[in-house]
Amino acid sequence: LTFPASSARVKATERFEAVYPLLKEVALAGASGSKAMKQVTQQIFTFALKLAGEGNPVLAKEATAIAIWSVTENVDCCKHWDNLYKENLAASVAVLKRLVEEWKDHSLKISSSPSDSATLNRAMKSFRLKNEEAITEGGANVSLYKEADKSCKVISGRLSGSGCLKGTAITAVVLAAAGAAAAVVLSSNPEAMTELKNLVDSLDLDQYVNAITTALKN
């Protein structure tokens, strides 16, 4: 009703378009992380993914956005997506491409949970296996599988890079904390204190952590 073909537009279409944003906000509102909301997001994702492959570009764009919202709200949608991937290949390509394009908008929420990052990464690896198999076999959809694989590769790389940088940043912070604790213990030994200070200075931890923080923001 909100996104009909141009030839099917009526006066009611404009009225519904006016209230659609509010209806969407109400429909997608809920207790984030609750069991009921997780079930709802999986249902929403299923419908959105199917519509993301529709020929109507306006409808497909909106459905793609909602599919991505579902994944970021409940990453378990990825498990469901894995089952729907092949039969909704064109839609999956659209969702993957848009997720890559809007990565900065969603990466903070996705990467804030190591478990969520791992779930999404497993989905990308599963998609890539399906892509590789289909590309090897050949067929009418090879170009779509190749396009999907490019996006999967980018997303996997970003997820892996984020995890690596976070782990390195944590290590740097632990080293700094250990140095501070050792300084207290060794304060009565000037020679040992000087040696420790030289070691910490050589690591240049402040600059290291700043560089990592900047990389994470990007």
Tokens 């109400």 found at: 26
> What pLDDT was estimated at residue 36?
80
Structure tokens at 3: 């996104």
> How many CB atoms within 10 Å of residue 153?
15
> How many CB atoms within 10 Å of residue 46?
18
Structure tokens at 216: 């994470």
> What pLDDT was estimated at residue 120?
96
> What pLDDT was estimated at residue 112?
84
Residues of the chain with pLDDT under 50: 1-2, 31, 163-178, 181-182, 184-186, 208-209, 211-213, 215-217
Structure tokens at 162: 């984020």
> What pLDDT was estimated at residue 194?
65
Segment 131-184, tens digit of pLDDT: 999 999 998 899 999 999 999 999 999 998 754 334 434 444 444 444 554 454
What residue ranges do the domains of the chain occupy?
Answer: 6-182
> What pLDDT was estimated at residue 188?
58
pTM of this prediction? 0.67
Is 152 in contact with 127 (CB distance < 8 Å)?
A: yes
